[in-house]
Amino acid sequence: MKWRRLNGSRILLPIKEAVQKTIQKELDLGNKLTICIGTDSQVRGADTVFATVIVFLRDGKGGFMFISTETDQQQRSIRERMITEVARSVTLAYELSDVWNEFDIDLEIHADINTDATFKSNVALKEAMGYIKGMGYTFKAKPNAFASSSCADKVC
C-alpha cells in the first residue's frame, strides 16, 4: 500500500515506522491521542475504489490522517463490499498491533455501515461488529464512524 497525507505529500517510510514516529512525536508534544482506522469504497463503473485512513485525533487540538487508496475491478454484492472494507481496516490494524501495544493505544475501527436497517449497508452490521470486536478492537458504526464515513469517504 502507498500512503500519503491529506495535502498529497507521500509518506516514504514504511507505514509501521511512520505511524510509530508520528505517535512518538505527538506524545512528546504532550498530546493525548485517539487513533481510528476506517475504510470506505465507491463503485465507479467496473472499478471499486477503496480508501483506507488512519486518523490521529489530538484531544482538544484537532487531528490529521494518513491515506491509502486502491482500485480493483472485482464485482461484489453490498454485503461483500462492506465486509471487504472492514477486512482492510482490521488487516491494517493487525499489521500495526506492535505499535498499539508499544504505546498502549486503544484503537477504534470505524465501519461505514449504517445501524439503521432501512439502509442497504446494514446487511453486514452483525458480521462486521463480530469481526472487529473478535479481533479485540473497539467497533464504531454510523453515525459514529467518522473515519470511514467522513474521512475515507472524502478521499475515495
Write out the chain's pLDDT in tens, 156 residues.
899 999 999 999 999 999 999 999 999 999 999 999 999 999 999 999 999 999 999 999 999 999 999 999 999 999 999 999 999 999 999 999 999 999 998 899 999 999 988 999 889 999 999 999 999 999 999 999 999 999 998 887
Number of domains in the chain: 1
Phi-psi region of 81 (alpha: psi -120 to 50; beta: other; left: phi over 0): alpha
User: What's the pTM value of the predicted model, to 2 decimals?
Assistant: 0.94
* Contact between 18 and 10 (Cβ < 8 Å): no
Cell numbers 484503537: residue: 107
Q: Is 98 exposed, middle or buried (0-12, 13-18, 19+ CB in 10 A)?
A: exposed
Classify 84 as helix, strand or coil. helix
Give residue 127's domain range.
3-155
Cell numbers representing residue 123 in the block: 446487511
